[in-house]
Amino acid sequence: MVSAALALAVEDESGRPAVGQAMTIGDRRYLSLPAQAKLLRAIQEMAVERVGGHVTGTLDTRLVVAANQCLGDLVAADRFRADLFYRLSGLEIRVPPLRERRSDILLLADHFVQRHPGRHSLHLSPAAVDALMTYDWPGNVRELERVIERAVTLSPTGRIAPEDLPPRVTGEYAERLMPSLVRDDTMRAWGSRYARLVLDRCDNNKRRACRVLGISYHTL
């Protein structure tokens, strides 16, 4: 017997066990060890019974399991059953985190922008693109999707600017460089702000900051 949520996942619209369909177990919450044992039994016997039910239905289902951690590591930590792990270890597809495939960031961002009805003319400004490309995205694609949804909602014009993005994404760009943009500062003033930003990152070590900036100590 498995939980109602798991049972519903393997049933079609008529309430009968799904045949020839795909069942997906996402990574939002890992199954408890008792639930893993029930899932293992269902896979072994290719049968399932709903909670509160008395009829066992035969399964003909493709199982897709997504995890944001290595299941092998969870097995070693006694958080995932080894026998279930080997049952599930068929074709493994590893999707690197978004920070390791930055070339996908802009493609995904444009896709999420175009998904909003009536906003097809909306586009990302070059400064917004820079902010998106330099952020590490610990929440991966889901975080990027929510950030774009927020930006589309807040943008008053036909383009998404850095001020439409959350502070955690724009970071020091918004804090240090945006004031120069608002005031229409000259390139000299803009460069001065950037130099101070690099100096702060170098713990006020001027010689190290000069090496990063590629300028002389006198110029700094």
Answer whether 85's CB lies under 8 Å from 122's CB.
no
pLDDT given at position 174: 64
Residue with the larger pLDDT of the pair 42 and 176:
42
Domain ranges of the chain: 4-88, 98-168
Nearest to 179 by CA among 193, 166, 168: 193
pLDDT given at position 11: 44
pLDDT given at position 178: 64
Cα–Cα distance measured from residue 206 to residue 198, given in angstroms and rounded to the nearest whole number: 9
Helices 126-134 and 103-114 cross at an angle (nearest 10°) of: 120
What global pTM score does this model have? 0.61
pLDDT given at position 7: 42
What is the pLDDT averaged over residues 143-157? 90
Task: Provide the 3-class DSSP secondary structure of residue 120.
Answer: coil
Tell me the CATH number for domain 4-88.
3.40.50.300
Which residues are bridge partners to 12 per DSSP?
none
CATH class, domain 98-168, is mainly alpha
pLDDT given at position 110: 92
pLDDT tens digits for 107-133?
999 999 988 766 557 889 888 888 898
- HSE-CB at 14 with a 13 A cutoff on CA atoms is 4
Q: Which residue has the tokens 């899932």?
A: 39
